[in-house]
Structure 1
Amino acid sequence: MANHTYVGMWVTKDGRVRHQLLANHRYDEARGERESAYQGRYQVTGNHIEYWDDTGFTADGEFIDGVLYHAGMVLYRKE
């Protein structure tokens, strides 16, 4: 997974939401000034991503043409 194209930082255009997809199948999401607002594990199957937050909620998203669509948000890969 370390070389998977989806591992890395994904951000909204305004930079408010930042998803760090880690190579160990964990994620860390920051919201505004709140670092590590959400953390948990994720799994990518094809272009679909499933999230399981450590607090118990779940979410999902899709990677389409290099863009992550997740929970009504649009996130772009930060190089």
Structure 2
Amino acid sequence: MTSDDTPRDPHPYVGMWVTGDGFIRQELLPNGRYDEARGNRASAYTGSYTVTGNHLDYVDDTGFTATGDVRDGVLHHEHLVLYREGDTPHGSVGEG
């Protein structure tokens, strides 16, 4: 019997993504789950995601589906534009 218990590096998209104004914070977790906060509302949306190339498919815990694409290090999630936490452009308030 063999087992591969070697820890794997998380996908490069794992981590916190935020809108330019910081209102929406979406954390992509290494276990394929996400947790999205909106304003003061923690865990406003939670669910699972899968990554194929630069494309993300989301299914929230109520069954709602959404998609996203990472282009030039920016996550375009439906009508939202999210940046890696710490990479948010200064003075940006629009969602694009």
- Contiguous gaps of at least 5 residues in structure 1: none
Partner of 2:60: 53
- How far apart in 1 are the matches of 2:76 and 2:18? 11
Output the TM-score relative to the length of structure 1. Answer: 0.95
Answer with 1 or 2: which has the greater Rg: 2
Deviations 1:2-57 (A, max 9, x none): 42110000000100001000000000000111000000000000000000000110
Partner of 1:32: 39
Output the TM-score relative to the length of structure 2. Answer: 0.79
Residue identity opposite 1:50 in structure 2: D
Partner of 2:10: 3
Count of residues in correspondence between the two structures = 79
